[in-house]
């Protein structure tokens, strides 16, 4: 199909958009666009947009799934796909109309700017993204082709590693303390605090901490912990764990800022194209597409919609607060633009919503809380005066990495038997037991010995033991 536009058209629109991007003060990486057909687009989606990625059957699975949905018209293709890299790479689908391409280009700059400036992405080493993924791919292929290793064994490790890949530290902006440093901390902590009335108090007895305990503090990076503490693992197995861990860490910031990021890109594509002087035909199509992307999905949550509403509200409140808001927050100290840029830099979804999702917005967005009953969602709370705060809390709990249970390694020598003991930081949400069982099986496989997970089931403390080859659940009294 001949595209009704040329690369020159795209270049021309791009120049205009870039001018506006600069005028608005956005600060993106250099941008590269690649024109793809739908097959390539599907393929890129499967591999998170990466030009190079290691092989695993799960990508074949998601390709089949996406392709089926696409072929049956159940889902379209995304208009945009942007990689957090420097230079940033984005894909434009060949068969889209010019208006859609222009919209996408503007949207891409929003993401690009967000990647470059939001604090959570500081650890992702965007300069080396493409090279890193390529290096990972090469190493995995090398192991697959190595006759002493082969596909089956590589797959076994990858399957297990994928199951645990998101069990890792979430706030990457905080430097991780080494184990030696953690021991020092522990020692420091154990010392009795300074007491102003030392002379009259009896001196507290100093209990020396157990410095031999591994890990000194609960450890969330499960894959790394296994890599470093299971002496049975071969070098190639350790390397696979490292690769999977590194890739997960790369994607954590995107999980953590989904709503902000999509909202930000939508906010700016609207701004940019409103000022770009689109010809009337394109303007109409732009409005239609924009509304499609930004419309709420009744029953679930459209991050584009929610995100953009919050951004718009921040801008409004800092530009033109109503009297009530002025009374509540005091006189504004910042311009709206500066405020937006500050928020872009220092928040992630959970803090973003906590600070800027107001009662009015919860109402306006028609948010509600639901409980899962089998395949149904049953509305449990609607946004009235009593419940809006609870809904907001639930939302904050379930965005970003909030959907991943916090599970940390507590002891690598449980029962003096080198069993791995983990604790689930239970926050009112139980684990799905079938999934927990299978995941513990993977954990057992990687650790090589028994694993025990402490969690609450229906409010009662239980230990999930995965021994030789099956799970037993024991209540703890």
Count the neighbouring beta carbons within 10 Å of the beta carbon of residue 146. Answer: 12
Contact call for residue 164 and other proteins (CB under 8 A): yes
Within 13 A of 392's CA, how many CA atoms are on the CB side? 21
How far apart, in Å, are the Cα atoms of 129 and each of 56, 132, 290? 19, 5, 30
- How many whole angstroms separate alpha carbon 311 and alpha carbon 303? 12
Count the neighbouring beta carbons within 10 Å of the beta carbon of residue 103. Answer: 27
Which of the stretches 35-43, 272-280, 324-332, 444-452 binds other proteins when contact is defined by CB under 8 A?
35-43
* Contact residue for other proteins among 297, 334, 460, 474 (CB under 8 A): 297
Contact call for residue 163 and other proteins (CB under 8 A): yes
Contact call for residue 98 and other proteins (CB under 8 A): no
* Contact residue for other proteins among 85, 96, 167, 247 (CB under 8 A): 167
Which of the stretches 58-66, 117-125, 175-183, 238-246 binds other proteins when contact is defined by CB under 8 A?
58-66
Site string for other proteins, 387-416 (x = CB under 8 A): ----x--xx--x--x-xxx-x---------
Nearer to other proteins, 165 or 183 (CB): 165
Characterise 400 by phi-psi region: left (phi > 0), alpha (psi -120 to 50), beta (else): left
Nearer to other proteins, 240 or 318 (CB): 240
* Contact residue for other proteins among 5, 24, 35, 418 (CB under 8 A): 35
| Residues in Cβ contact with 63 at an 8 Å cutoff, skipping those fewer than 6 apart | 42, 43, 46
- How many whole angstroms separate alpha carbon 443 and alpha carbon 439? 6
- How many whole angstroms separate alpha carbon 166 and alpha carbon 406? 10
Residues 109-128 that bind other proteins (CB under 8 A): none
Contact call for residue 32 and other proteins (CB under 8 A): yes
- How many whole angstroms separate alpha carbon 235 and alpha carbon 213? 25
Nearer to other proteins, 183 or 439 (CB): 439
- How many whole angstroms separate alpha carbon 122 and alpha carbon 133? 18
CB of 426 to other proteins, least distance (A): 10
Residues 360-389 that bind other proteins (CB under 8 A): 365-373, 375-382
Residues 6-25 that bind other proteins (CB under 8 A): 7, 10-11, 14, 18, 22
């Amino acid at each position: 199909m001949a595209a009704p536009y040329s690369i020159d058209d795209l270049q021309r629109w791009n120049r205009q958009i870039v001018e506006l991007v600069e005028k608005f003060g956005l600060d993106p990486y250099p941008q590269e666009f690649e024109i793809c057909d739908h097959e390539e687009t599907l393929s890129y989606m499967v591999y998170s947009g990466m030009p190079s990625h290691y092989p695993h059957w799960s990508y074949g699975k998601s390709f089949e799934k996406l392709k089926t949905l696409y072929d049956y018209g159940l889902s379209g293709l995304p208009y945009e796909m942007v990689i957090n890299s420097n230079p940033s790479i984005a894909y434009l689908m060949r068969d889209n109309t010019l208006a859609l391409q222009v919209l996408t280009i503007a949207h891409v700059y929003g993401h690009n700017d967000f990647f470059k400036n939001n604090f959570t992405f500081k650890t992702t080493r965007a300069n080396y993204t493409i090279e890193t993924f390529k290096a990972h791919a090469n190493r995995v292929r090398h192991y697959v082709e190595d006759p002493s290793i082969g596909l089956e064994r590589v797959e076994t490790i990858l399957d297990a590693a994928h199951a645990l890949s998101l069990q890792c530290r979430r706030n990457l902006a905080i430097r991780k303390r080494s184990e030696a440093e953690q021991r020092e901390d522990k020692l420091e902590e154990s010392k009795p605090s300074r007491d102003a009335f030392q002379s009259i108090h009896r001196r507290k007895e100093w209990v020396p901490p157990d410095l031999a305990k591994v890990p000194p503090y609960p450890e969330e990076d499960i894959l790394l912990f296994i890599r470093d503490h299971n002496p049975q693992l071969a070098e190639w197995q350790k390397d696979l764990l490292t690769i999977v861990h590194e890739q997960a860490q790369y994607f954590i910031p995107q999980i953590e800022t989904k709503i902000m990021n999509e909202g930000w890109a939508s906010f700016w594509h609207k701004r940019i194209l409103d000022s770009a002087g689109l010809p009337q035909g394109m303007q109409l199509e732009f409005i239609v597409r924009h509304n499609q992307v930004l419309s709420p999905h009744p029953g679930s949550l459209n991050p584009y919609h929610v995100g953009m509403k919050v951004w718009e509200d921040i801008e409004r409140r800092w530009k033109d607060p109503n009297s009530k808001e002025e009374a509540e927050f005091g006189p504004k100290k910042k311009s709206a633009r500066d405020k937006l840029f500050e928020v872009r830099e220092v928040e992630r979804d959970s803090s973003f919503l906590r600070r800027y999702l107001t009662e009015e917005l919860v109402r306006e967005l028609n948010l509600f809380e639901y409980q899962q009953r089998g395949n149904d969602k049953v509305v449990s709370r609607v946004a009235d005066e009593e419940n809006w705060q609870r809904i907001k809390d639930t939302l904050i709990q379930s965005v970003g990495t909030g959907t991943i249970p916090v599970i940390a390694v507590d002891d690598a020598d449980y029962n003096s038997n080198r069993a791995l003991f983990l604790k689930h930081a239970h926050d009112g949400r139980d684990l799905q037991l079938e999934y927990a069982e299978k995941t513990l099986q993977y954990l057992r496989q990687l650790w090589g010995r028994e694993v025990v997970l402490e969690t609450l089931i229906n409010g009662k403390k239980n230990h999930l033991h995965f021994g030789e080859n099956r799970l037993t659940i024991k209540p703890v009294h």
